[in-house]
Structures are given as structure tokens and as C-alpha cells.
Amino acid sequence: MKINAVAKGHKTGFKSFTDKISAYTFLSENMSEETKKEHFEDIKQNNREESVQKKRKIECGEESESKRGKSIVVYTDGSCIDNGKVNAKGGVGVWFGADDKRNLSEKLTGKQTNQRAELMGPILALQILEKYQDVEIRTDSMYTINCVTNWSKRWVKNNWKTQNGKDVENQDLIKTLLGLMKNRSGITNYKHVRGHSGHYGNDKADLLAKAATSIRFVVIK
């Protein structure tokens, strides 16, 4: 990247550089003390603004830093009206970012429970993404996170039986999710976020999930 630096003060100069450090050194050597102070205050302000913008992008699901570079961030959530009752209705929300065409609001099929709705979120997200893409799935469901990162290891060894010898609940969805993760070349990470705490991305996924339980059509940007 080419950087142009113009020094104003008791010395005036113009020069092109390939890095910021060299440009700042040139400016420092050719500025008056008063101009130098004003200039570097502007630099500090610009850096603060860039930091705020980057934080906002990460919170909104646009990017996340990983060892391999930028990773896609997606928020998932599940909702179930009258959970545990005969007339329960579940919905799933997947939110990639504002006005992202991949955002999804889908009714839960099969057995209607909140846990199954939560598990379907990451499943749908991974089905949407390319297999090579690194992704960070953010969810308020510790149940989902524990299923695929902790408890499943023991369940596999026990042939999908609990310590009490009962069949593991929702194992069909858990197996599906584990299979999707295994067949990806990209890294799949999970991060827990607190639900209903004003977290922008999680709130959007929650709205998408709730919209799917309703007969009304709702657009979430």
C-alpha cells in the first residue's frame, strides 16, 4: 500500500512511503512542534474510530479474527412457543449480518422443542456456508455448545447412551451437526453469548427464530 505524507510547518515536504512507520518518522522530522501535536492527535482519533468500527463489525456478525485470518461470524437461535406442550411451535433463526441474503427464518420440522430448535441453528448455518470457510457460530444455547464440544465424546463411547443407560435425546440432530463439522475443511468454532442481554447479533437471530413460529411474514434486516 502506498502512503503519501505531507509535512507542514517550519519545513514543508512531500514524500511517498510503503509503510506507516516511515511516513510518521518523516512527518515527525519535518513538522513544527505545534503542528506535530495537532497532527498526531488526529492520528489517535482516527485510530480510535477505526477500532470502534471494527468492534461494531464483529458484533454485527461481519468478521472475527482468528489465527488463520478473518473468520465468518454467524448468530443462531431457536425459539419454541408452548415448549413441552402438544401444540408447541418451533422456529430457527440464522443471522449473518445486516441485509445479508443468507439470513434465515425457518419453521422447525419434526418434534417441536426449544432444544431441537437451538440445535437446528448451527445445522442450517453450516449447510449454507462453503465447507472451506472458517466460521464462528455464536449462540446463547450452552446446551448446543456442550452437545458438540463436550458431551458427545462420552456419548459416542457409550453408543449414544446416557450414564443411566437411556438413549441420548436429540441424537439425530446432534449426529447431523457433528457430521457437518467433520466434513468441513474450514474451522468451526462456537462462542456463547448471553441471551436477551441487548447483544445486537443475538437479538437479530432471536427475532428471526420467533418470526418463524408465527404465520406472519417478517423481514429482519
Per-residue pLDDT reduced to its tens digit, 11-62:
555 566 565 556 556 655 666 666 656 655 665 566 565 555 555 555 555 5
| pLDDT at residue 209 tops 70 | yes
Q: Report how far residue 221's alpha carbon sits from residue 213's, in angstroms, rounded to the nearest whole number.
A: 18
**Same domain for 68 and 41:** no
Instruction: Give helix then strand counts, H and E, for the chain.
Output: 7, 8
Domain range for 41 is 3-59
Predicted local confidence at residue 216, as pLDDT: 47
| pLDDT at residue 197 tops 90 | no
**Same domain for 178 and 92:** yes
Domain assignment of residue 218, yes or no:
no
Closest to 123 in 3D by CA, of 203, 163, 79, 178: 178
pTM here is: 0.70
**Same domain for 206 and 164:** yes
**Total structural domains within the chain:** 2
**Same domain for 166 and 113:** yes
Q: Report how far residue 90's alpha carbon sits from residue 13's, in angstroms, rounded to the nearest whole number.
A: 66
Each residue's pLDDT tens digit, 92-113: 999 999 999 999 999 999 999 9
Dihedral of CA 9/12/18/21: which sign? negative
**Same domain for 91 and 200:** yes
Domain assignment of residue 74, yes or no:
yes
φ, ψ for residue 163, nearest 5 deg: -65, -25
